[in-house]
Amino acid sequence: MFENIKTMDELKATCDIALANKRGIVVLIKLPGLEAPEEIYNPPSNVRAKRDYYTKTYKTNLRMVHNDAIRIVGCYTK
């Protein structure tokens, strides 16, 4: 479980832990103009699809492909 993450490998590892333990994930996303990161919860049934989505939508440094100002800054199981 990585609360503060820096790489896609860490995000994938957290998703894999969640899948193995039938847990959901919380992803923290830093958006321009917001002081605190957005927290997005996904239940266990969504983790596999969200893992695929994040892999396609974010670069290995966790910055969004279409908007470099948006980035994933944390992820943990719940």
Residue 7: half-sphere exposure toward Cβ, Cα within 13 Å? 3
What is the reported pLDDT for 34? 96
Assess contact for 26 and 76: CB atoms under 8 A.
yes
Residues 6+ apart with CB under 8 A from 76: 1, 2, 3, 14, 25, 26
What is the reported pLDDT for 2? 54
Q: What is the pTM of this model?
A: 0.91
For 21-60, what is each residue's pLDDT tens digit?
999 999 999 999 999 999 999 999 999 999 999 999 999 9
CA distance 70 to 58: 9
Q: What is the separation of C-alpha 10 from the centre of its chain, rounded to a whole number of angstroms?
A: 9
